[in-house]
A and B are shown apart, each in its own frame.
Chain A
Amino acid sequence: MTAVASSATDSGRTRGARFRPSALGWLPRLAVWAAIGYVVLYLPLGRPPTDVQRFTEGVAYAIVALSLNVMLGYVGQISLGHQAFVGVGAFTSAYIVTEQGQSFWLGVLVAAAVGGFQALVLGGVSLRIRGLYFALITLSYGLVAEQNIFQIQELTGGGAGQAAPKPDWFDTEWRYYYLALGFLALVLYIDWRMMRSKSGRALLAVRENPRVASTFGINVRAATLFAFVVSGVFAGIAGAIKAHSDTQVSVDVWNFNLALVFVIMTVVGGLRSRWGLVIGGGFFALLPYFIEKIPGLEDVLADIPLVPRVLTPEIAPLVIGPLLLLVNLIKFPGGIGQQIRPITRWLSGHRFDIHDKGPKEVQITDVRA
């Protein structure tokens, strides 16, 4: 009994014993869970393969958002060259499978390892530099990846790009989609366990105040490097998944614009909120899809007054994304994650509290320079 009592005080609530929904209370929650499961798991079965491929891309973007969140959300360092990590992951996996004739699984593994190794080298050299200057380094590295690394013919297959066939058993778009979801679940699990561990809490301490963290015996540089490596591993996995979903990795998509879209979807999704990040990543990947599918929306965008040209679904994220980001930063700093927090808390068996904005620390404005 004492354990229960202490956990109630730990959660900082003064409502007595920890709230548990009754059987009747679980019913609507389970219904919502079932609806989410239906949309995510069952709905794609009825869609044509080209649509499913885009859903898979949404899953890959969600992993990218989780990857950037480790840097931006947990330790408060921004990476503006994340397209390089994702791109290197994609090319590595494609290279292992196509050029070396190895299996997809080895490809993903090597992509993750290369992502982590890249972060280890770049971070090891440059993480003495923190804050704004580190952002500059990563941005510059992104350009180097785009203009030097991806120009290596053996790795990228030149202008035509590198082929990346789907693995056995997962050779239809639907099966591959479930595989990607499996990887997303794996990344979510790793992220969740990491943040429950001592080193996860150390990361948060480093973000809050590096000096205080180091007085408590946390090696700030090692903790930041650790976060960067984890971020690189996630990015490598995301790249491999995207590569084998598209079955062809081309050279010219890994540009600065993509790096910014990645950062924007992470911030709009909501730092340190796994739900928000997954939604943010999926939303930005599927934005062109929504514009095509929602009836009338494409016509509205085509007829915006005073604009000579059509806002096509392909360029819409570049215009809508930054606008969302600015509104988000100025008005809703917690992102989607904070806005939907009452719902996610309710779903996981807590009371519905519309005013629940999360712990005060869940504020993007807490990220330190």
Chain B
Amino acid sequence: MNEALRARLGWIVGAVLAVGLAVVLIVTGEENALVIGVTQGSAYGMVALGLVLVYKSSGVFNFAQGEFGTVALFVLYLLDFETNYWLAMAGALAVAAVMGFLTERIVIRPLFEAPRVILLVATAGVALLAIGVQIWFGDAQGKPIDKAFDRVDRITVLGVQVTDQQLALIVVLVALAALLALFFTKSNLGLAIIGASQEPTATELVGISVKRLSSFIWVIAAVLGGLAAVIAVPNLGSFGPGIMTSQFLIPAFTAAVLGGMTSLPGAFVGGVLIGIVQSVATSAPVFQDIPGTKSTLVVFIVLLVVLLIRPQGLLGKPAR
């Protein structure tokens, strides 16, 4: 096998898996499940982008990533009563950004030298705090949430109507992935972040503040989490405290791991793949006898299998 092919093997495997599963869904007449899978997967991909960013810069698994989103949702829900939907969404994202900034300042920075497991516990603590405050300020009940786009019949794919809200999710994700890819390869700031993640000491030596970069990354990650929530969750119709952690975080982590944990395109591909896999699991007759939510079990199995047979994921580099 030549080098060029080998370098793209991850992409090829990922694409073949995605297309193969999509074909299975189409052949079995589950086009609707496919559309839901792809849109849901896009949301996972967006959360996973934030996870990968933070992992690249701080080397920590950010368990608070989901809650940046849920907090944004609550703000959107509250502001929507007061003002225009778009202003409310801007406010929601601003609150998510502030939360990301504060998390980095108050929790991550003092623990900069601590082992990664401690940072993980700390971010999990932030997540629980956010959930606790949500239950405290609101209540544990589900709340209805409006969509940004109401039209449902603009586009039809394979005989299934794709709502504008679903379309927005996919468009935003693709745009973000492209933007981030450009940012990390072309802009000085992006290159500095890559440098800081690979050689923090050397980066400091050339006069770049690694700490300031870390704050910046956390803000970006929080905004990504917020965006994922405010665009994806209205598709579900309602939300409750901790929804992003209980329903999106683990699939997003699985997507990030599948993509290689350090690869932004990998997070994107992994997210869509996980979304499709979940759709297959919920619609395939083989899984009918499994009690409860089938998608949870499938995500667990995918995570386990990926970590056991290919821990570097599809697009990651094997550890040296």
Please report A residues at the B interface, Cβ cutoff 8 Å.
Answer: 72, 76-78, 80, 125-126, 128-129, 131-133, 135-137, 139-141, 143-144, 146-153, 255-257, 260-261, 263-264, 267, 307-309, 311, 315, 317-319, 321-323, 325-326, 329-330, 364-369
Contact = CB atoms under 8 A, between A and B. Distances in A.
Contacts of B114: 329, 365
25 contacts: A78-B117, A128-B308, A136-B250, A136-B253, A136-B307, A139-B250, A140-B299, A140-B300, A141-B300, A144-B300, A147-B293, A148-B290, A148-B293, A148-B296, A152-B291, A153-B291, A256-B245, A307-B136, A318-B132, A325-B125, A326-B122, A364-B118, A366-B115, A367-B117, A368-B117
What's the dominant secondary structure at chain B's contact region?
A: helix
A261 B195 CA distance: 37
A322 B296 contact: no
Contacts of B299: 140
B102 to A, nearest CB: 11
Nearest to A369: B116
B81 interface: no
B127 interface: yes
B175 interface: no
What's the dominant secondary structure at chain A's contact region?
A: helix
A277 B54 CA distance: 32
A368 B118 CA distance: 9
Contact of B250 (A77, A125, A143, A257): A143
B107 A125 contact: no
Nearest to A308: B137
B311 A129 contact: yes
10 pairs of A and B residues whose beta carbons are closest in the complex: A318-B132, A151-B292, A322-B129, A369-B116, A151-B291, A319-B132, A147-B293, A322-B125, A325-B125, A148-B292
B141 to A, nearest CB: 13
Interface string B103-138: 000110011011111101110111111011101111
A281 to B, nearest CB: 16
Nearest to B295: A147
A135 B115 CA distance: 14
A252 B216 CA distance: 38
Contact of A125 (B113, B116, B129, B304): B304
Interface of B: 60-61, 63, 106-107, 110-111, 113-118, 120-122, 124-129, 131-133, 135-139, 242, 245-246, 250, 253-254, 257, 290-294, 296-297, 299-300, 303-304, 307-308, 311
Contacts of A329: 111, 114, 118, 121-122, 125
Given A315-B135, A367-B115, A137 B304 contact: yes
Given A126-B307, A260-B128, A325-B122, A319 B117 contact: no
A72 B129 CA distance: 21
Given A147-B296, A148-B291, 6 more contacts: A129-B307, A140-B250, A147-B293, A257-B131, A260-B127, A307-B137
